[in-house]
Structure 1
Amino acid sequence: MSLQVPASGFKRPDLPIPNRGPSAASGSTLTTPNRLPLTSRGKVQLAPGHSPLDWARLTSTTDLRGVPTFQRVTPSELKRHNRRGDLWMALGGKVYNCTRYLDYHPGGPQQLMRGAGRDATQIFMETHGWVNFESMMSKCLVGVLVPEPEVDSDDLST
């Protein structure tokens, strides 16, 4: 019994080998083979020490809420936290301090800034609704999003 492939009619498929860089025929002058390009999902190369594993390690030991107690956050309060150094967003009715997560986000800080200071639930669900943000961001939970208090018309007349 022979284990060799018959010579007639068999052609090995010509498949690219992943992570080998461009072929010589492509004319590419790629000089940094370790630099990863953007993926079709728009991920960026993260700085060393900012992988998902690094984020998990950080959140396992550090409280990243930035507030002493859980808060009831109104939309107007949420809106004040819309900068790189002070970034809150609401997801699923809960408010998270995402300031420290900026440099860990696979899409880069600019993508996370799209939800800065507002309810970003829809943006999040459109982009990656399968991600369990409640678990991933639990150490960043500031509180719950509540409606603005109603102004009593009697208070306006005085």
Structure 2
Amino acid sequence: MTDRNSLRVPPMRGPPNSSSRKPLLETSLSAPGAGPRRQKIGLKPGHSAMDWAQLKQNKGNALKGNIDPSHFPLRVTKEELKRHNSRDDCWVALNRKVYNISPYLDFHPGGVDILMKCAGKDGTLLFQKYHHWVNADRILDSCWVGIMV
């Protein structure tokens, strides 16, 4: 039988913020091996991850943009992808899938500017560098417009 007193944690000496006490666990904003810490921006009210999930549920396929359903999924060439490079018409390729990320821009925790670096381009390498553990298909499933050819 274990003695109850042997399971007690010794009391801390000094205030909890004492510089002589080392943290039990150090955390980082970046994933291991991801490089320098990234700055996250404050999102506008109503633009959290939960708000994005609700918008996807409510709008569904309307987030794809003006795509004729009879042509879906589109076969997108590099030239076609390049034409969609503005904030109001922003397509990006990730792992050979093309997404209309225009509706998602304001929901991205890293801000619009970083996503616009990939506007009209293949953003796979940049995405994998910073988000290799993130499932883009799940986040952007309602924005999927086609496949790179």
TM bucket (normalised to shorter chain) is 0.7 to 0.9
Deviation at 1:140, TM superposition (A): 0.2
Normalising by structure 2, report the TM-score: 0.73
Q: What's the counterpart of residue 17 of structure 2? A: 15
Q: What's the counterpart of residue 111 of structure 2? A: 108
Percentage identity across aligned positions? 47
Between the aligned partners of 1:15 and 1:58, the Cα distance in structure 2 is 42
Larger Rg: 1
Question: What is the one-letter code of the residue matched to 1:85?
Answer: D
Question: What is the one-letter code of the residue matched to 2:88?
Answer: G
Q: What's the counterpart of residue 56 of structure 1? A: 53
Structure 2 unmatched ranges of 5 or more: 19-36
Higher-RCO chain (CA-CA 8 Å, sequence separation at least 6): 2
Answer yes or no: is 1:44 the counterpart of 2:41. yes
Q: SS where residue 93 of structure 2 aligns?
A: strand
Q: SS where residue 142 of structure 1 aligns?
A: strand
Greater percentage in helix: 2
Deviation at 1:15, TM superposition (A): 1.7
Q: SS where residue 137 of structure 1 aligns?
A: helix
Deviation at 1:61, TM superposition (A): 2.0
Question: What is the one-letter code of the residue matched to 2:85?
Answer: N
Question: What is the one-letter code of the residue matched to 2:13?
Answer: K
Between the aligned partners of 2:57 and 2:118, the Cα distance in structure 1 is 24
Could you give the per-residue CA deviations for residues 22-79 of structure 1, whole angstroms, max 9, x where no partner exists?
xxxxxxxxxxxxxxxxxx4211000000000000100112121111222000000000
Could you give the per-residue CA deviations for residues 61-105 of structure 1, whole angstroms, max 9, x where no partner exists?
212111122200000000000010100000010000000111000
Answer yes or no: is 1:98 the counterpart of 2:101. yes
Deviation at 1:13, TM superposition (A): 4.3
Q: SS where residue 89 of structure 1 aligns?
A: strand
Deviation at 1:109, TM superposition (A): 0.3
Report the number of matched residues.
118
Cα RMSD over matched residues?
Answer: 2.0
Between the aligned partners of 2:101 and 2:44, the Cα distance in structure 1 is 17
Paired residue for 2:132, among 129, 140, 144? 129
Normalising by structure 1, report the TM-score: 0.69
